[in-house]
């Protein structure tokens, strides 16, 4: 089982993504444990404030160092942490290889930034890796954290019913996934390719490999490099 602790000042945002579908079932099966920590619970401010103005001026508030440090230290008292991840638009971009690697760990902490980010001393001294889900900026790190957790969860053995399906996902072998079809075989005059109805597994495999390559060459030629 993998244990993921998420630190956020807005835990409500994670309620939906982490309590539905495959991620929900993974938790019910005890294949993954997700603990949400409200950063405001570690604030010493009477109003549970966790942000402050940036030294040197400029717009935007910054998440304070003390509540983040206290929360991480409390988590670390109960388990050996393999990775402390900060979700940031200037981190390394999430890919399938990274998801595969993280899925093999035991204990992960994910810190969600907000406002104008976190005190840089957290990034310099505590964070072990920074991950981005794309070259754009969101209001906070909660949705990227949910994306990361979903990408990890489906790789845990037993989480998805057909475990071999994950091996043929897009990006597992630097190719995009092949086209998929289901019943009916003819709809509105649009037909499913005959090879998929043939029952010839060898020919079907060849067809899927060919289509994966063609799609990758057309849509993401950079992956073929």
Instruction: Please say if the pLDDT value at position 61 is more than 70.
Output: yes
Task: State the pLDDT at residue 169.
Answer: 60
CA nearest to 35, candidates 96, 63, 76, 90: 76
**What would the pLDDT profile of 94-131 be if each residue is shown by its tens digit?**
999 999 999 999 999 999 999 889 999 999 999 999 99
Whether residue 126 lies inside any domain: the answer is yes
Of 102, 120, 153, at which residue does a domain stop? 153
Could you tell me if 23 and 94 lie in one domain?
Answer: yes
Could you tell me if 185 and 98 lie in one domain?
Answer: no
Whether residue 30 lies inside any domain: the answer is yes
Q: Tokens 């897009």, residue?
A: 170
Task: Calculate mean pLDDT across residues 66-77.
Answer: 98
Whether residue 159 lies inside any domain: the answer is no
Whether residue 160 lies inside any domain: the answer is no
Task: State the pLDDT at residue 57.
Answer: 86
Task: Calculate mean pLDDT across residues 65-82.
Answer: 97
Whether residue 162 lies inside any domain: the answer is no
Of 119, 153, 187, at which residue does a domain stop? 153
Task: State the pLDDT at residue 171.
Answer: 66
Could you tell me if 114 and 64 lie in one domain?
Answer: yes
- Cα-based distances in Å from 218 to 9, 26, 161, 167, 225: 42, 35, 31, 22, 13
Over pLDDT 70: what percentage of the chain?
95
Could you tell me if 145 and 196 lie in one domain?
Answer: no
Residues contacting 219, CB < 8 A, separation 6+: 176
Indicate the number of domains in the chain. 2
Are 199 and 155 in contact by the 8 Å Cβ rule? The answer is no
Please give the residue range of the domain that contains residue 123.
2-153
Could you tell me if 68 and 11 lie in one domain?
Answer: yes
CA nearest to 34, candidates 74, 1, 6: 6
CATH number, domain at 219?
Answer: 1.10.1270.20
In whole angstroms, give the CA distance from residue 120 to residue 15: 28
In order, the DSSP letters of 147-212 are HHHHHHHTTSTTSSSSGGGGGGSTTTTSSPPPP---S-SEETTEE--HHHHS--HHHHHHHHHHHH
Whether residue 164 lies inside any domain: the answer is no
Of 104, 125, 153, at which residue does a domain stop? 153
For the chain, the 3-state helix, strand and coil shares in percent, each to the nearest 5, are 40, 20, 35
**What would the pLDDT profile of 14-28 be if each residue is shown by its tens digit?**
999 999 999 999 999
Task: Calculate mean pLDDT across residues 180-198.
Answer: 96
Instruction: Please say if the pLDDT value at position 59 is more than 90.
Output: no
pLDDT band per the 50, 70, 90 thresholds, residue 58: confident
CA nearest to 130, candidates 91, 89, 99, 93: 91
Could you tell me if 50 and 119 lie in one domain?
Answer: yes
What pTM did the predictor assign? 0.88
Whether residue 64 lies inside any domain: the answer is yes
CATH number, domain at 56?
Answer: 3.40.1280.10
**What would the pLDDT profile of 132-173 be if each residue is shown by its tens digit?**
999 999 999 999 999 999 999 999 999 997 655 555 565 667
């Amino acid at each position: 089982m993998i244990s993921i602790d998420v630190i956020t000042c807005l835990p409500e945002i994670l309620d939906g993504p982490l309590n539905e579908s495959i991620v929900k079932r993974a938790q019910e099966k005890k294949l993954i444990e997700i603990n949400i920590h409200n950063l405001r619970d570690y604030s010493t401010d009477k109003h549970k404030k966790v942000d402050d103005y940036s030294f040197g001026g400029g717009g935007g508030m910054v998440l304070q160092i003390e509540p983040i440090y206290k929360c991480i230290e409390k988590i670390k008292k109960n388990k050996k942490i393999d990775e402390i991840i900060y979700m940031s638009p200037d981190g390394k971009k999430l890919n399938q290889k990274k998801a595969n690697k993280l899925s093999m760990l035991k204990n992960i902490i994910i810190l969600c930034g907000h406002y104008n980010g976190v005190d840089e001393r957290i990034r310099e001294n505590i964070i072990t890796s920074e991950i981005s889900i794309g070259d754009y900026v969101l209001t906070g790190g909660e949705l990227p954290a949910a994306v990361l957790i979903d990408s990890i969860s489906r790789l845990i053995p037993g989480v998805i019913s057909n475990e071999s399906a994950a091996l043929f996902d897009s990006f597992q072998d630097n190719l995009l996934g092949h086209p998929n079809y289901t019943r009916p075989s003819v709809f509105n005059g649009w037909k499913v390719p005959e090879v998929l109805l043939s029952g010839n597994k060898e020919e079907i495999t060849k067809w899927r490999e060919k289509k994966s390559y063609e799609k990758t060459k057309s849509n993401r030629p950079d992956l073929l490099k």
